[in-house]
């Protein structure tokens, strides 16, 4: 396992759409292991492969608190098939370090995906898990949380991030 560098906005690779995974190869399994180690070290509750420069439709989510056992969810070729309701909550992103903004999302989602074992599954999520699934799924489409902000907030965040640079220098 290895901790990978996390891309930071405005890195153009964050805008690339991810390609479907056609087979769960040893390389994909290694990618998932590296992503988990990177996500936990950051620390974060989710990470998409595109955030570390890998163009695969893979993301991880673990919303367990510090005092709770880890519950890592691996989503390969995810597809959100149903959304319900609406919630607005503070949201952060490993590609936008130090930034937290109110983002509007569905309050409940149903997602279909393939697990690391190669088996398809379906998950209904609400609350923080629903937010994390939508956020990471957006990354696979090249959509970032800044895209969901109002014009003024977007300009402020853009200025902050452009001053900072596009790669996590601590992990590069």
Write out the DSSP string of 108-137.
EEEEEEE-TTS-EEEEEEETHHHHHHHHHH
- Cβ contact 96:145 at 8 Å: yes
Is the link from the previous residue into 10 a cis peptide, with omega within 30 of 0? yes
Q: Taking the alpha carbons of 64, 66, 69, 70 in that order, is the dihedral positive or negative?
A: positive
- Cβ contact 93:145 at 8 Å: yes
Question: What pLDDT does 165 receive?
Answer: 64
Helix and strand numbers, DSSP H then E, in the chain: 3, 7
pTM value is 0.92
- The one catalytic residue among 101, 136, 141, 169: 136
Question: What pLDDT does 163 receive?
Answer: 79
User: What is the mean pLDDT of each successive set of 10 residues along the chain, which is 172 residues long?
Assistant: 92 97 98 97 96 98 92 97 96 95 96 98 97 98 96 92 60 38
Spatial separation of the C-alpha atoms in residues 89 and 66, rounded to whole Å: 20
**Spatial CB neighbours of 84, under 8 Å, sequence gap ≥ 6:** 106, 107, 108, 109
Tell me the domains of the chain and their CATH numbers.
12-164 (3.90.45.10)
Which tokens belong to 42? 């950051």
Name the nearest CA neighbour of 82 among 124, 118, 51, 121: 124
Question: What pLDDT does 170 receive?
Answer: 39
Q: Does the annotation mark 136 as catalytic?
A: yes
């Amino acid at each position: 396992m290895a901790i990978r560098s996390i891309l930071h906005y405005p890195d153009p690779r964050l805008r690339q759409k991810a390609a479907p995974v056609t087979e769960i190869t040893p390389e994909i399994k290694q990618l998932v292991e590296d992503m988990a180690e990177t996500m936990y070290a950051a620390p974060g509750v989710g990470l998409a492969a595109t955030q570390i420069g890998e163009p695969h439709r893979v993301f991880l989510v673990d919303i367990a608190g510090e005092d709770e056992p880890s519950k890592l969810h691996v989503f390969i070729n995810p597809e959100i098939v149903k959304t319900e309701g609406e919630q607005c909550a503070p949201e952060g992103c490993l590609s936008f370090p130090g930034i937290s903004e109110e983002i509007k999302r569905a309050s409940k989602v149903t997602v279909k995906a393939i697990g690391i074992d190669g088996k398809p599954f379906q998950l209904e999520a609400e609350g923080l898990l629903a937010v994390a699934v939508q956020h990471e799924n957006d990354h696979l489409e090249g959509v970032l949380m800044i895209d969901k902000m109002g014009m003024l907030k977007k300009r402020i965040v853009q200025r902050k991030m452009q001053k900072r640079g596009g790669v996590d220098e601590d992990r590069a």
